[in-house]
Amino acid sequence: MSPFAFWQATNEALRGIVDYWLASPADAAVLFIPMLLFLELPYYLLLVAGVARHQLHRLMHPPRDVPFYPSVSCIITCYSEGEAVKQTLRTLCEQIYPGEIELLPVIDGALRNQATYDAIRSFIATEGHRYPNRRIRPVPKWQRGGRVSSLNAGLSLARGEIVMALDADTSFENDMVAQASAHFIDPRVCAVSGALAVRNEQHSLVTHLQAIEYRLSLMLAKVGLSEFNLVNNVSGAFGVFRRSVLETAGGWNTGSAEDLDMTLRLKQYFRRNGLRIVFEPRAMGYTDAPDTWQAFFKQRLRWDGDLAYMYLEKHWKAFQRRLVGGRNLLILVWGGLLFQIVSPFVILFYMLYLLWALPLPVFVAVNLVITLFYLAIAFVLYLVYLTCISRQPRRDLPDLLLLPAFSLFLLVNRLWSAVALVNEIWRKGHEETSMAPWWVLQRNAKNKDD
């Protein structure tokens, strides 16, 4: 189709929308002002308000150089990383931090993952002596027990006041420990969620779009929520905890999505103790995102299924004001149940209704308007990110050109969430994870039933 023909078809479709609006204002209101507008737009406004408050606080109260250097234990969950684990160990050893840092790489199923174990021992032999005040204690767990068993094994051996739960395929900026640990000078802080960026951003279109998603959905969103003590999840790949709180909570729990599970349990605990979970955007970690569409959809099938399992089955009792407080209950219902579980189905059925109720040109035009609406939101949020959060705004600025593709990416992702939720409800999708062997998940299910 030539550009002129495309413009002519679009113009006719837009005229069809105007005619439809004039002929039936009530139906048009249903089309153009759906529940999504009232559900999503206020949520984005809350995030922007939180980021503005964060920026204002930084301007009015610049960080002070207070000598506070608690001992830190890094539990590094390893499975099949091989030589790549050396990069993670190196970035932790090279931290600009005068305090003691203990590295506990826990090799899950070390008998089968001899390459990872050998790589860690090789790093200790060839490079370990270069770093003063850094102690590396490898923990070979010969039988595989899953990620949670690795974390708890590391916790039982950790000596630091602060415990970091880290993935072995994640590398870190050299000021990460200093930025994250500084928050614990406040005795009310029980956990800090670190910031994650996509390390293999330039590999493919899907990794580039995920990089933008991480900036907006993880970094910007968590900065906004953190200002109101509403952080929704302490990342499993990069979570920082006060060890005494972890021990009081009994460590990590078996099953899928141990990061969200721990966050929900901490929220119920700190409600009674006046504690806080903080997000630190300057504590940066870098991880590899799925580099093919197939791998991406497989990952999100697990992530969204885990989320539904946590909210609807394992922690449904947490949705009580007396357990988590009024504000956290609001964000659990609004940002959790409605935004992440109900909204994908609303979008799906809304689009099916439009396809059934409208002529095809009008359907296309309506979806064009909706896409432009989400593009405008993404544009505003990305400008806020560049202005207030990005550590390298010049590097991130060109990705503004990818925002039209990113808007479509978000729509596809939301529709795929509906598939993942159905998979969880119908097939118990959270049990199809590679994070733990089948017998661990089976035991967890049995304990839950008992």
pLDDT of residue 259: 86
HSE-CB for 94 with a 13 A CA cutoff: 11
Query: What pLDDT does residue 176 have?
Result: 96
Whole-number pLDDT of residue 224 = 93
User: Which of 5, 55, 21, 3 is CA-nearest to residue 369?
Assistant: 21
**Is the per-residue pLDDT at 215 higher than 60?**
yes
Q: What is the mean pLDDT of residues 377-394?
A: 93
* Side-chain half-sphere CA neighbours of 282 within 13 A: 12
Residues 284, 317: contact at Cβ < 8 Å?
no
Q: So what's the pLDDT on residue 430?
A: 57
How many residues are listed for the chain in this entry? 450
Paired with 163 in beta bridges are: 73, 241
Residue 339 is predicted with a pLDDT of 83
Residue partners of 126: CB distance under 8 A and separation at least 6: none
Where residue 394 falls among pLDDT bands split at 50, 70, 90? very high
Gyration radius of the chain's alpha carbons: 23
Evaluate if residue 191 carries a pLDDT over 80.
yes
- Per-residue pLDDT reduced to its tens digit, 64-103: 677 889 999 999 999 888 888 999 999 999 999 999 999 9
Write the Ramachandran bin of 82: left for phi over 0, alpha for psi from -120 to 50, otherwise beta: left
Is the pLDDT reported for residue 231 higher than 80? yes
pLDDT, mean over the chain: 84
Better-scored residue on pLDDT, 445 or 236: 236
How far is the CA of 450 from the CAs of 33, 105, 314, 401, 446, in angstroms? 46, 34, 13, 53, 6
Residue pair 74/101 in contact (Cβ under 8 Å)? The answer is: yes
Q: Is the pLDDT of residue 449 over 50?
A: no
Residue with tokens 């050396």: 86
pLDDT of residue 71: 95
Report angle CA 86, 87, 89 to the nearest 5 degrees: 65
Answer yes or no: is pLDDT of 30 > 60: no
The pLDDT of residue 219 is above 60 = yes
Q: How much is the average pLDDT of 108-136? A: 89
**Burial zone of 402 (CB within 10 Å; 0-12 exposed, 13-18 middle, 19+ buried):** middle
Do 332 and 319 contact (CB within 8 A), yes or no? Answer: yes
Return the number of other C-beta atoms located less than 10 Å from residue 287's C-beta.
17
How many other C-beta atoms lie within 10 A of the C-beta of residue 359?
11
